[in-house]
Structure 1
Amino acid sequence: MSDTTLPPALSAIQEDFLALEIRDRLQLLLEFSNELPELPERYQDHPDLFERVEECQAPVFIFPEVTDEGIFHLYAMAPAEAPTTRGFASILAQGLDGLTADELLAVPDDFPYMIGLTEAVSPLRIRGMLGILGRIKRAVRQQLADRA
């Protein structure tokens, strides 16, 4: 799929990764892990809303939300001891936030392969990011179907 189909924030993230040498891409991923957005206060005491992403080696929990206005937000929790997984969640939280549900669903399923990390992290870890994106899309489709 063409890079031009990426929403602006994801496109910028992709450009940032691809502009770096392979060894530096891992460092950028670690920087993203430190930038995972905090949970809004209204969700901090509601772990029941979050789904564990079983495809990830480390525990990561997500709560994809489409507002009544149709705007997407991703809330995620991952331990600091799992910087790769935290970084993946952060990339998706930052790159997808504010999209419409349709824009989100149009993001290529293989986006994790498009940011040049396949040489920097193991295929198993990339599968985890694919799992996060897949679960986000499934949850958004379900939310839309529940409203229909």
Structure 2
Amino acid sequence: MSELPAALQTIVEDFRAIEGQEKLEYLLELADRLPPLPERLVPQRQSMDVVNECMTDVFVHAEKENGDRIRFYLDVAEESPTVRGYATILQEGLSGAKLDEILSVPLEFYLQLGLQQVLSAQRLNGIGAILAHMKRVAQGAQ
């Protein structure tokens, strides 16, 4: 198992501490923590990268900060709390990480969260697609 960025590892440990439907409830709580796009990015929203493989529009933007760290901004409709919850996990867990740390996160890391117990295979595929897309966007971050 590859090592996860520290913030993402903390989230994984939080999920490991809860069982069954509590995992879904926690995921839905995380949806409320996804911050809105910063005002400076709102005009660019429609030109941001969109995760096409996900049934819900997920807009992704990445920027370099502090030299070699990546900061992510994600925007997901409030009507999609499951996807917003996962976007929160990824934004909080990967923002501030180095590119090589981000690229080393396995696409199926959600298995470490135990989400396969409470989400359909279709949703899990979407989750992997969001992470894959974030990796591509991170590689082009400026």
The answer, yes or no, to whether TM exceeds 0.5 is yes
Q: CA RMSD in A?
A: 1.6
Larger fraction in strand:
2
Q: Contact 1:49–1:63 at 8 Å: present in 2 too?
A: no
State the alpha-carbon separation in 1 of the partners of residues 112 and 123 from structure 2: 14
State the alpha-carbon separation in 2 of the partners of residues 14 and 58 from structure 1: 23
Name segments (4+ residues, structure 1) moved above 4 Å: none
Please point out which of 17, 20, 23 is paired with 2:18: 20
1:120 aligned residue: 118
Task: Give the C-alpha shift of residue 42 in structure 1.
Answer: 1.2
TM-score under structure 1 length normalisation:
0.88
1:54 aligned residue: 52
2:100 aligned residue: 102
Give percent identity, aligned residues only. 39
State the alpha-carbon separation in 2 of the partners of residues 93 and 53 from structure 1: 14
- Aligned residue for 2:68, secondary structure, equals coil
1:77 aligned residue: 75
State the alpha-carbon separation in 2 of the partners of residues 12 and 92 from structure 1: 12
State the alpha-carbon separation in 2 of the partners of residues 109 and 58 from structure 1: 18
State the alpha-carbon separation in 1 of the partners of residues 108 and 52 from structure 2: 18
Aligned length: 142
| Structure 2 residue runs without a partner (length 5+) | none
Task: Give the C-alpha shift of residue 28 in structure 1.
Answer: 0.5
| 51-60 vs 123-132, greater mean Cα deviation | 51-60
1:141 aligned residue: 139
AA of the residue aligned to 1:35: R
AA of the residue aligned to 2:22: D
Q: Contact 2:60–2:137 at 8 Å: present in 1 too?
A: no
State the alpha-carbon separation in 2 of the partners of residues 89 and 101 from structure 1: 18
TM-score under structure 2 length normalisation:
0.91
Q: Contact 1:56–1:85 at 8 Å: present in 2 too?
A: no
